[in-house]
Amino acid sequence: MDKITDLKKIIIKTLDTNKAQDIISIDLKDKSSMADFMIIASGTSSRHIQSLSEQVLEKFKDNGIQESKIEGKDSNEWKLVDGIDLIVHIFHPEKRKFYELEKMWSELIPKEKLII
């Protein structure tokens, strides 16, 4: 297996071990050039979301992605941990339902729309 797939498994295991809910992984390889994979999970409270994002950041850094960072530091309902080829969104369940990232990124996107 390649490094990014192994890292994806590590991140999913970290989220699961720390009680993240509804963890899903979306393959972005043929949909976007911004990353290879997106992981989406829910936290139960603002503290839980913050803790999960910090643990994911630590796993990225432990695995050689030193330029990784957390976006949404001031938000209590959403965090994005940018692992370059692997992006992790951690939402409060209500915000997750509002944004529907799973629906948006899981659908097949015609190649013409990718260029935009």
The band of 111, judged by pLDDT with boundaries at 50, 70 and 90, is low
Domain of 110, in residue numbers? 3-114
Neighbour-count burial of 49, counting CB atoms closer than 10 A to its CB (0-12 exposed, 13-18 middle, 19+ buried): buried
How many domains in the chain? 1
pLDDT digits (tens, 9 = 90+) for 88-101: 999 999 998 887 88
What phi-psi label fits residue 79: left (phi over 0), alpha (psi between -120 and 50 degrees) or beta?
A: beta
Global confidence as pTM: 0.86
Three-state SS string over 3-60 comes to HHHHHHHHHHHHHHHCCCEEEEEEECCCCCCCCCEEEEEECCCHHHHHHHHHHHHHHH
In angstroms, what CA-CA distances link 30 with 34, 51, 78, 113? 11, 31, 26, 12
CATH number at residue 86: 3.30.460.10
pLDDT digits (tens, 9 = 90+) for 2-48: 899 999 999 999 999 999 999 999 998 877 778 899 999 999 999 99
